[in-house]
A and B are shown apart, each in its own frame.
Chain A
Amino acid sequence: EAGVVQSPRYKIIEKKQPVAFWCNPISGHNTLYWYRQNLGQGPELLIRYENEEAVDDSQLPKDRFSAERLKGVDSTLKIQPAELGDSAVYLCASSLVARTSGGNEQFFGPGTRLTVL
């Protein structure tokens, strides 16, 4: 079974340019997450989708970041315009959440390593 797929794997852009990341979750997983991981830190949630609905975007910097998950499958995360501080690894994860029980194993994609110059 294919895991979470992300593209591109690496992206180098100049500041003020736009950039977009794409994620294809594991088939059947209804919940999709975008995380940002800075060097030496754990992943931090940016946005969480349940199907096509964004149910938690409180940590998403909405002035420059946007995301969508059309049809509740693939998702894109966009930054416009990018700033130097946006350099990080952007991880997508998916899970199949059972609402009646605790805990949800999340499966991560390989991430997109963004460098803003």
Chain B
Amino acid sequence: RKEVEQDPGPFNVPEGATVAFNCTYSNSASQSFFWYRQDCRKEPKLLMSVYSSGNEDGRFTAQLNRASQYISLLIRDSKLSDSATYLCVVNSWGNTPLVFGKGTRLSVIA
């Protein structure tokens, strides 16, 4: 089983739609969780960290379920500019390497 698994998509949604991605991780010792965004032919950039209590940043909401070992990302009111690949990232502790999922591709269509 891969350490971090994501549905590769693509998710094709109309503007204004709400879309959710899930990601599962296998290492129960994982401590830190992130969503990174990667535009086509660009480097990954941190979108948001995922906290145990869940967190929201504008139209983006991240949730963590430790019992089931999954992370989710919800995007409300999708914009064309949200089109990108969303990478689920897991880290065991501070200075250990990040483990990336393969990414979920989102296309927001006008």
Which A residues contact B (CB, under 8 angstroms)? 31, 33, 40-45, 48, 50, 55-56, 91, 97-111, 113
Contacts and interface: CB of A to CB of B under 8 A. Distances in A.
Nearest to A109: B43
A105 B97 contact: no
A102 B100 contact: no
Contacts of A107: 46
Interface of B: 4, 8, 31-32, 34, 41-46, 49, 87, 89, 91, 93-98, 100-103
A104 B32 contact: yes
| Across the A-B interface, the 8 shortest Cβ-Cβ residue pairs | A42-B100, A103-B32, A108-B43, A102-B31, A97-B95, A45-B97, A102-B32, A42-B102
Interface SS of chain A? loop
25 contacts: A40-B8, A40-B102, A41-B102, A42-B103, A43-B44, A45-B98, A48-B97, A56-B96, A91-B44, A97-B94, A97-B95, A98-B94, A101-B94, A102-B91, A102-B94, A103-B31, A103-B91, A104-B91, A105-B34, A105-B46, A105-B49, A106-B46, A106-B98, A107-B46, A111-B43
Contacts of A111: 43
Contacts of A33: 97
Contacts of A48: 97
A103 B49 contact: yes
Contacts of A103: 31-32, 34, 49, 91, 94
Contacts of B32: 102-104
Contact of A42 (B31, B91, B97, B101): B101
